[in-house]
């Protein structure tokens, strides 16, 4: 899908991070944009910063009625929708059995439910228009599942599966409506900065006050990995460029860190090995 002036984009999770950067990049290309986020104050500031071609619609994407209201506001203001970026997301970490079920449910309702709601509400408009593109934000964590982040990784794996299915379905029913799933590595967002702060010496000192030494020892490899990833952090603006390039070229996957391909390859190789040798 070629992005051009006059088109309309909808971006969730747009108050900061990748969502804000994508919205800014769309405005630079001449698109009008509806930005959505649960943080109403930060969202209003984003819209003010981006100019009069942007409307702010406070939205909890986990609530279907609010996503419907987002669509209604967008169509009332701009009369069309061409690009939908389902980007809103939250995280939760810790040993899988120790994470409060409420946190599991919140991650699932926002990360997966928010994407499902966005697809449910906006896809019919794109099909009716006969063109458009849907972007769903997953994560490298959805391709390379690690420890102590099961809710987040599981939700991002689900988004990948949903996106692949949606692309196939639209390929049959509405070939001019594209789908891209974004699997970023470490990007300079509030969420990732929070992780790096935990991995820093000061963060480790604070954890030592609440976690037994044996648990901290088990977490050390993960913290070391986070600190290492932080050395290759990508600015949000660069991530936005990668995403929009994938939209314009019709790619299914958009990734930010080619150097991390080995991690996804190792996982795939492990799966393939379980099948054994093909029957001869």
- What are the sequence ranges of the domains in the chain? 8-185+236-253, 189-233
Query: What pLDDT is recorded for position 262?
Result: 85
pLDDT: which is higher, 102 or 141: 102
Query: What pLDDT is recorded for position 218?
Result: 57
8-185+236-253: CATH superfamily: NAD(P)-binding Rossmann-like Domain (3.40.50.720)
Q: List pLDDT tens digits, range 188-240.
A: 665 545 444 444 455 455 554 555 666 556 555 555 555 555 556 788 999 99
The whole-number average pLDDT for the span 91-96 is 85
The whole-number average pLDDT for the span 45-53 is 97
Long-range contacts for 148-152 (Cβ within 8 Å, ≥24 apart)? 148/93, 148/94, 148/95, 148/219, 148/222, 149/91, 149/92, 149/93, 150/96, 150/99, 151/91, 151/92, 151/93, 151/99, 151/103, 151/104, 151/107, 151/108, 152/91, 152/92, 152/93, 152/107, 152/111
Q: What are 261's two structure tokens?
A: 């391909």
What is the C-alpha to C-alpha distance for residues 19 and 60, in angstroms, rounded to an integer?
14
Catalytic residues, by residue number, are 152
Cβ density class 189-212: b for 16+ within 10 Å, e for less: beebeebbebbeeebeeeeeeeee
What is the C-alpha to C-alpha distance for residues 23 and 20, in angstroms, rounded to an integer?
5
| pTM: predicted TM-score of the whole model, two decimal places | 0.86
CB 116 within 8 A of CB 98: no
From the centroid of its chain, how far is CA 245? 16
pLDDT cut 70: percent of the chain above it: 82
Q: Name, in order, each residue with C-beta under 8 angstroms of 263's C-beta and a sequence gap of 6 or more.
A: 140, 143, 144
Nearest CA to 18 out of 255, 266, 226 is that of 255
């Amino acid at each position: 899908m070629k992005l051009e002036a006059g088109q309309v984009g909808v971006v969730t999770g747009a108050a900061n991070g990748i969502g804000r950067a994508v919205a800014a990049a769309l405005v630079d290309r001449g698109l009008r944009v509806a930005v959505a986020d649960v943080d109403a104050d930060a969202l209003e500031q984003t819209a003010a910063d981006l100019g009069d071609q942007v409307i702010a619609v406070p939205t909890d994407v986990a609530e279907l009625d609010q996503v419907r209201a987002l669509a209604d506001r967008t169509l009332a203001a701009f009369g069309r929708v061409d690009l939908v970026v389902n980007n809103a997301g939250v995280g939760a970490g810790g040993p899988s059995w120790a994470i409060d079920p409420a946190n599991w449910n919140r991650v699932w309702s926002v990360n997966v439910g928010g994407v499902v709601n966005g697809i449910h509400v906006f896809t019919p408009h794109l099909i009716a228009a006969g063109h458009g593109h849907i972007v769903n934000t997953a994560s490298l964590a959805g391709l390379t599942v690690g420890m102590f982040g099961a809710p987040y990784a599981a939700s991002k794996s689900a988004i990948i599966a949903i996106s692949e299915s949606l692309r196939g379905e639209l390929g049959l029913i509405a070939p001019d409506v594209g789908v891209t799933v974004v699997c970023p590595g470490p990007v300079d967002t509030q969420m990732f900065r929070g992780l790096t702060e935990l991995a820093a010496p000061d963060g480790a000192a604070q954890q030592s006050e609440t976690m037994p030494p044996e648990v901290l020892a088990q977490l050390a490899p993960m913290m070391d990995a986070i600190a290492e990833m932080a050395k290759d952090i990508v600015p949000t603006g660069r991530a936005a460029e990668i995403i929009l390039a994938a939209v314009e070229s019709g790619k299914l996957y958009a990734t930010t860190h080619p150097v991390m391909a080995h991690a996804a390859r190792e996982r795939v190789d492990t799966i393939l090995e379980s099948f054994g040798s093909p029957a001869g």
